[in-house]
Amino acid sequence: MYQALYRKKRPNTFGTVIGQSPIVTTLCNQLRGGNISHAYLFCGTRGTGKTSTAKVFARAVNCLEAKETGEPCNNCEICQDILAERNLNVIEIDAASNNGVDNIRDLREEVRYPPTVGTYKVYIIDEAHMLTTAAFNALLKTLEEPPAHVIFVLATTDPQKIPATILSRCQRYDFKRIARADMVATLALYMEKENVETEADALEYIASVSDGAMRDALSILDQCLSLYADEVITLAKVQALLGAVDQSALFAYSDALVQNNSAAALAIIAETAKEGRDLSRFTADIITHFRNLLVAAQVTDHTDILDYAPETVERYRTQGKAIEPMTLISYIREFSELQNQMRYSAQERLALEVCTIKLCSQHSRPLSTISNSNPESDVAVSPTVNSVKDNATPTPIDENEVDAFKTGVASDIASSAAADTLAPLDVSTSDPTPVSVPSLGETPDDKLKVVVDNWSDFCAQLSGLLKSMLALCKVESGGEGLTIICRDKGSLQYMKDQQAQILEKITQYFQLAEEPFIVFIADEGYNDADTFKESISTQINMAVEFE
């Protein structure tokens, strides 16, 4: 018979409980020292190991041959019985369906009798916050004077709903969401044991959508295994299963947004909807995408905070570098608002489309700076996108506008300034925004512009320290010269020392007739990772966590 992964992989020992080592260590110490409590409260979001830990604990206190570490042996008669759910000493109560006072009265009767085998009766009350007030009061009487042979483990996702009188009688343990790296490593190990080949990106994705809940991750994997039996589990397959869009669509959508190409952006939404994908999932994925772009472009050492395959990170970096950080931040803010709104809206697609059009018109700039905005292109992070970036600084968001937007998308449309733009919602019939292609540098000024626009490509083909130092600089053209803005005085000094070499490289790479005029300046604080993080948090007005 097929057994669901989350049952099969349920940790059987403290050592296999994932990501909760402080709790596990404390419990083991208590078991070793023989100073266990009679009431525990396990708090934490779903799928973090509360019930599993409670079950291991229930065996550990009853085990006939418990190990020195405090672990149950899982071999003795009692352990075996508990594992097979034959033992009457471990009683699991689902408070969601047994929340009445009668259930607790029965329980109070029962607890008076000592166990027939083993040392302790362990009551595991799941979803304890669902108990009624009367039931809590009845339970309290037992908790005030628990018989020596009884242990209560209350598990809850919502400790706020547990009365203070109960809380004060329990030892409380807060289970953390499982860190993504821990989860990916564990999933990889499980799949190896199951002899299933999986792509690293696929596991990364599962871990990210499960948001720290192992049970969710395993149930997604379960679905993958039954749908794609004997196949390699790839990112695309997982995304198809979850109704998510593949990353190319996210890259293309971001490009369209940056280029103010609402037609292209709406076409992607239309395609996504047509494939039956979930648009709120799409919105969540877009937020993650912008976050990844920000991190990849702005933080040099991002190995710990951007847990993706190197090719994927490189792709994020390329697109991220082409978009002004403040623009990305405002996108994250807008789409987070949209995500909230979608929870209460029956018209997800409309909400997403309106938001898209709004952003495309908000970040408007002269059309002449937009070029080569081919809606078909997968990753249009060509040098031409760079030319857009300095003009893409977002206009401050008008609070009234945001409020008006929040009051209801549907009613908003009639009065919205975007109403005109909104008319051709059927994008298949509307032509993409007309665009012009820039001439490739005829005047000296134009040539310098080409240098600015292709700066990251130029840096990419250099090597060593010069490469990384120059890549961190901002470059501007004007007044027949180039201004290279260094992030601090140290790198300014370095640049000045290397001036001859830099001039030569630029002249050579861009095939200039003569060496350009270059000014080096230092702008302290520019591109600094720490101040950057701070400024994001204040900008989007919420805690930014780079896990």
The binding site for Zn ion (CB under 5 A) comprises 63, 72-73, 76, 79
- Tell me the Cα Rg of the chain: 30
Q: Give the start-end residues of each E strand in 431-538.
A: 474-478, 481-486, 517-522
**Smallest gap, in angstroms, from Cβ of residue 82 to Zn ion?**
8
What are the b/e assignments for 398-434, b being 16+ CB within 10 Å? Answer: eeeeeeebeeebeebeeebebeebbeebebeeeebbe
Residue closer to Zn ion, measured from CB, 58 or 79: 79
**Smallest gap, in angstroms, from Cβ of residue 28 to Zn ion?**
15
**Smallest gap, in angstroms, from Cβ of residue 13 to Zn ion?**
11
Residue with tokens 């490593």: 185
What are the b/e assignments for 354-388, b being 16+ CB within 10 Å? Answer: bbbbbbbebbeeeeebbbbbbbeeebbbbbbbbbb
**Pick from 204, 377, 222: which is nearest to 306 by CA?**
204
**Pick from 453, 467, 475, 466: which is nearest to 519 by CA?**
475
**Smallest gap, in angstroms, from Cβ of residue 72 to Zn ion?**
5
**Smallest gap, in angstroms, from Cβ of residue 17 to Zn ion?**
17
Residue closer to Zn ion, measured from CB, 63 or 266: 63
Task: Answer for the pair 462, 505: CB distance below 8 angstroms, yes or no.
Answer: yes
* DSSP-based three-state secondary structure for 499: helix
**Smallest gap, in angstroms, from Cβ of residue 68 to Zn ion?**
13
Residue closer to Zn ion, measured from CB, 28 or 256: 28
**Smallest gap, in angstroms, from Cβ of residue 49 to Zn ion?**
20
Task: Answer for the pair 150, 111: CB distance below 8 angstroms, yes or no.
Answer: yes
Residue closer to Zn ion, measured from CB, 58 or 502: 58
Q: Give the start-end residues of each E strand in 330-410.
A: none
* DSSP-based three-state secondary structure for 38: coil
Gap between the Cα atoms of 202 and 204, Å rounded: 5
Residue closer to Zn ion, measured from CB, 61 or 130: 61
Beta bridge partners, 94, equal 126
**Smallest gap, in angstroms, from Cβ of residue 131 to Zn ion?**
31
**Smallest gap, in angstroms, from Cβ of residue 54 to Zn ion?**
16
Length reported for the chain: 547
Task: Answer for the pair 253, 247: CB distance below 8 angstroms, yes or no.
Answer: no
Phi, psi (rounded to 5 degrees) for 474: -100, 145
Residue closer to Zn ion, measured from CB, 76 or 196: 76
Residue closer to Zn ion, measured from CB, 74 or 234: 74
Gap between the Cα atoms of 107 and 58, Å rounded: 17
Say how far residue 176 (Cα) sits from the centre of its chain: 16
Residue closer to Zn ion, measured from CB, 75 or 165: 75
Residue closer to Zn ion, measured from CB, 17 or 295: 17
